[in-house]
A and B are shown apart, each in its own frame.
Chain A
Amino acid sequence: MANSANTNTVPKLYRSVIEDVINDVRDIFLDDGVDEQVLMELKTLWENKLMQSRAVDGFHSEEQQLLLQVQQQHQPQQQQHHHHHHHQQAQPQQTVPQQAQTQQVLIPASQQAAAPQVIVPDSKLIQHMNASNMSAAATAATLALPAGVTPVQQILTNSGQLLQVVRAANGAQYIFQPQQSVVLQQQVIPQMQPGGVQAPVIQQVLAPLPGGISPQTGVIIQPQQILFTGNKTQVIPTTVATPTPAQAQITATGQQQPQAQPAQQQAPLVLQVDGTGDTSSEEDEDEEEDYDDDEEEDKEKDGAEDGQVEEIHRSKNKWKFHLKDGIMNLNGRDYIFSKAIGDAEW
Chain B
Amino acid sequence: MAYQLYRNTTLGNSLQESLDELIQSQQITPQLALQVLLQFDKAINSALAQRVRNRVNFRGSLNTYRFCDNVWTFVLNDVEFREVTELIKVDKVKIVACDGKMDEKIANQPYLLAVAPEELAPLTAQCSN
Residues B97 and A5 in contact, CB atoms below 8 Å apart? no
Residues B94 and A42 in contact, CB atoms below 8 Å apart? no
In the bound complex, CA of A343 to CA of B79 (Å): 10
Which one of A11-19, A83-91, A236-244 contacts B? A11-19
Chain B positions within 8 Å of A194 at CB level: 26
Kindly state whether residue B88 has any CB partner on chain A within 8 Å.
yes
* Count of interface residues, chain A, beta-carbon cutoff 8 Å: 94
In the bound complex, CA of A228 to CA of B21 (Å): 8
Kindly state whether residue B126 has any CB partner on chain A within 8 Å.
no
Residues A277 and B71 in contact, CB atoms below 8 Å apart? yes
Please provide the chain A residues from 291 to 346 with a CB less than 8 Å away from any CB of chain B in the complex.
293, 296, 301-310, 312, 317, 319, 321, 323-331, 334-346
Partner of A49, one of B14, B33, B65, B100: B14
Residues A336 and B54 in contact, CB atoms below 8 Å apart? yes
Query: Tally of A-B residue pairs with Cβ under 8 A?
Result: 292
* Count of interface residues, chain B, beta-carbon cutoff 8 Å: 82
Q: Given A279-B94, A279-B96, A308-B97, A336–B40 Cβ distance below 8 Å?
A: no
Residues B17 and A49 in contact, CB atoms below 8 Å apart? yes
Kindly state whether residue B105 has any CB partner on chain A within 8 Å.
no
Residues B60 and A342 in contact, CB atoms below 8 Å apart? yes
Please provide the chain B residues from 62 to 116 with a CB less than 8 Å away from any CB of chain A in the complex.
62-63, 65, 69-74, 76, 79, 81, 83-86, 88, 90-100, 103
The chain A residue sitting closest to B64, CB to CB, is A346
Kindly state whether residue A193 has any CB partner on chain B within 8 Å.
yes
Chain B positions within 8 Å of A312 at CB level: 72, 97
Kindly state whether residue A46 has any CB partner on chain B within 8 Å.
yes
Chain B positions within 8 Å of A274 at CB level: 4, 7-8
Residues B65 and A346 in contact, CB atoms below 8 Å apart? yes
Q: Chain A's nearest CB lies how many Å from the CB of B102?
A: 9
In the assembled complex, 17 residue pairs joining A and B whose CB atoms fall closer than 8 Å, in A order, are A16-B47, A20-B47, A25-B39, A42-B22, A137-B21, A199-B24, A271-B34, A272-B16, A276-B4, A278-B4, A302-B92, A306-B8, A309-B100, A325-B49, A325-B52, A326-B97, A337-B55
| Seed contacts A25-B39, A42-B22, A327-B6; 10 additional CB < 8 Å A-B pairs | A13-B52, A21-B40, A42-B36, A137-B25, A194-B26, A278-B4, A304-B95, A325-B45, A340-B58, A345-B62
